[in-house]
């Protein structure tokens, strides 16, 4: 069992700080309190060219970090891939993951194990309006980590992600721009665009003229800063203005 | 529109509260499969829905339920104190200035963007209500499905104990601190919804 007071104090720090040095210190302390050696918290983005608003913190060795980035391990990392579509934390390596490893993924695992990153616990993070991300705690001896650590780690990670958001907001100096407000009709057109319909088809479905449909579409793209059609759909999904079920529905 | 109701009313007495209990049944029983009582096969109503419960309810223009949350005084039976006291390391916070938040319910069928708007409006109302009433903090039981949403509202949250696995989900007890700076924290997080909460009849009665 780990030190409960230490844990609560660390989470309280993560709950109010907007200073990324303090976030780093708290996460490093947390890692040891929970029984792990290393942590890495980051958005799942192109680490070679991270977009604005993405963030990451880790106490991995700089050599290992360089190898991850220069070898582009993040593109194939089986732990990161396991985060897709799940909201619960998971231990790794696990049988399901090991069964499906590609040779390259096996290589990445082996390279990590050489650095004493033999196993760990990873918490995925998916929020509307934000890049997917995760926080990993790794260790050379997973069997020594108490099972009470997993739910405790999950909670602390959520606090850490929120602290990182405050850091980013503070850096941006202002609130991140809000997604544009669309009228119900504009949203209908957007959903049909997302389903790959032509303007003519959308006009038929909504009983509009093709010209009016085109005008709606232009208005939506203007609201998004004259975005291209393909980017528009991605962006609207990202902002939560439309959802995958709406786009994938066949009717 | 956000309205505040003080005290539970049985089914049939208040259409807004009926719609809330019905939405709660659809979310907590039908969707999440919680083992909580259902009245008349339509309304989720438990032992804490009593005269001391306070409800903050968001409805759309046609008065349909969009979202709601329940406030319980902690110096009376409440969820954390009665069902999950083991989530608190020390004793369960019990104080006339501490209320518990429970049954945050967003109607099924609301689209993603609207869910966020309703969630933010309810949270703003919860903060405004606390400031009007002199409530210093809210306790709550949070599982992993809600935790990041609670935190992303921007207010200050502290853990009351070590989270545990309950019904397969990491679950913990939290204390949300409310003070004069809280609205500014919500604004900084982009979750503050400008609103004016009109005092309910019950508030008037108490003030008199």
First to last CA, chain B: 26
Contacts 24+ apart (CB under 8 A), A91-94: A91/A119, A91/A120, A91/A121, A91/A142, A91/A150, A92/A119, A92/A120, A92/A121, A92/A122, A93/A119
Could you give the ipTM of this predicted complex?
0.86
pLDDT in the model for residue A106: 92
pLDDT in the model for residue B127: 96
The two structure tokens encoding residue A14:
């993560």
pLDDT tens digit sequence for B161-202: 999 999 889 999 999 999 999 999 999 888 999 876 665 544
Residue carrying the six token digits 């290393």: A38
| Cα gap A61→A121, rounded to integer Å | 18
Is the CB of A12 less than 8 angstroms away from the CB of B159? yes
Closest to A78 measured CA to CA, from A37, A119, A42: A119
Q: Cβ of B72: how many Cβ atoms within 10 Å?
A: 25
Helix (H) or strand (E) holding A22: helix A20-34
Is the CB of B159 less than 8 angstroms away from the CB of A240? no
Q: Is the pLDDT of residue A251 over 70?
A: no
The two structure tokens encoding residue B41:
């096969």
| Cα gap B42→A205, rounded to integer Å | 36
The two structure tokens encoding residue A65:
């970090």
Is the CB of B190 less than 8 angstroms away from the CB of A152? no
pLDDT tens digit sequence for B51-106: 999 999 999 988 899 999 999 999 999 999 999 999 999 899 999 999 999 999 99
Q: In chain A, which among 197-236 make CB contacts under 8 A with chain B?
A: none
Q: Is the pLDDT of residue B206 over 50?
A: no
Is the CB of B156 less than 8 angstroms away from the CB of A15? yes
Q: Which of B32, B119, B147, B159 to substitute to test the interface with A, most A CBs within 10 Å? A: B159
Is the CB of A4 less than 8 angstroms away from the CB of B89? yes
Reported confidence tier of residue B12, pLDDT bands at 50, 70, 90: very high
Q: At what angle do helices A184-194 and A210-223 cross, to 10 degrees?
A: 90
Cα-Cα-Cα-Cα torsion A199, A201, A206, A211, nearest 10 degrees, comes to 30
Contacts of A243 in chain B (CB under 8 A): 111-112
Reported confidence tier of residue B9, pLDDT bands at 50, 70, 90: very high
Q: Is the pLDDT of residue A119 over 80?
A: yes
More confident residue, A130 or A219: A219
pLDDT in the model for residue A70: 86
Q: Is the pLDDT of residue A107 over 50?
A: yes
């Amino acid at each position: 069992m780990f030190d409960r007071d230490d844990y609560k104090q660390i989470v309280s720090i993560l709950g109010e700080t907007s200073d990324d040095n303090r976030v780093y210190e708290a996460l490093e302390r947390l890692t040891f309190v929970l029984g792990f050696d290393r942590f890495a918290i980051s958005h799942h983005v192109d680490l070679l060219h991270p977009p604005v608003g993405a963030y990451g913190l880790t106490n991995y060795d700089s050599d290992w970090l360089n190898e991850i980035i220069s070898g582009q391990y993040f593109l194939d990392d089986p732990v990161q891939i396991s985060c897709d579509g799940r909201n619960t934390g998971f231990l790794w390596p696990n049988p399901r993951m090991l069964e499906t490893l590609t040779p390259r993924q096996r290589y990445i695992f082996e390279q990590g194990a050489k650095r004493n990153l033999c196993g760990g616990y990873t918490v995925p993070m998916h929020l509307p309006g934000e890049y997917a991300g995760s926080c990993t705690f790794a260790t050379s001896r997973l069997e020594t980590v108490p099972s009470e650590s997993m739910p405790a780690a999950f909670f602390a990670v959520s606090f850490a992600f929120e602290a990182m958001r405050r850091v980013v907001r503070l850096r941006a100096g202002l609130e991140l721009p809000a997604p544009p407000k669309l009228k119900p009709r504009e949203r209908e057109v957007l959903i049909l665009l997302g389903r790959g319909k032509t303007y003519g088809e959308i006009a038929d479905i909504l009983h509009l003229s093709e010209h009016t449909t085109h005008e709606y579409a232009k208005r939506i793209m203007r609201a998004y800063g004259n975005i291209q059609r393909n980017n528009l759909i991605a962006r609207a999904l990202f902002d939560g203005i439309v959802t995958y079920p709406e786009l994938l529905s066949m009717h | 529109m956000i309205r505040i109701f003080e005290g539970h009313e049985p089914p049939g007495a208040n259409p807004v509260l009926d719609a809330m209990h019905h939405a709660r049944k659809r979310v907590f029983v039908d969707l999440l499969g919680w083992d909580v009582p259902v009245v008349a096969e339509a309304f989720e109503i438990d032992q804490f829905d009593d005269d001391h419960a306070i409800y903050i309810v968001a409805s759309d223009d046609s008065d349909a339920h969009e979202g709601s949350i329940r406030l319980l005084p902690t110096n009376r039976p409440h969820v954390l104190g009665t069902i999950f006291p083991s989530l608190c390391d020390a004793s369960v916070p019990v104080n006339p200035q501490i209320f518990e938040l429970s049954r945050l319910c967003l109607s099924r069928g609301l689209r993603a963007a609207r869910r966020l708007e309703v969630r933010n409006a309810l949270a703003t109302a919860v903060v405004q209500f606390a400031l009007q009433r002199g409530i210093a903090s809210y306790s709550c039981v949070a599982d992993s499905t809600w935790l990041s949403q609670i935190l992303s509202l921007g207010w200050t949250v502290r853990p009351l104990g070590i989270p545990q696995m309950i019904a397969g989900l990491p679950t913990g007890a939290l204390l949300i601190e409310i003070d004069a700076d809280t609205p500014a924290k919500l604004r900084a997080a982009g979750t503050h919804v400008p609103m004016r909460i009109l005092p309910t009849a019950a508030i008037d009665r108490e003030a008199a």
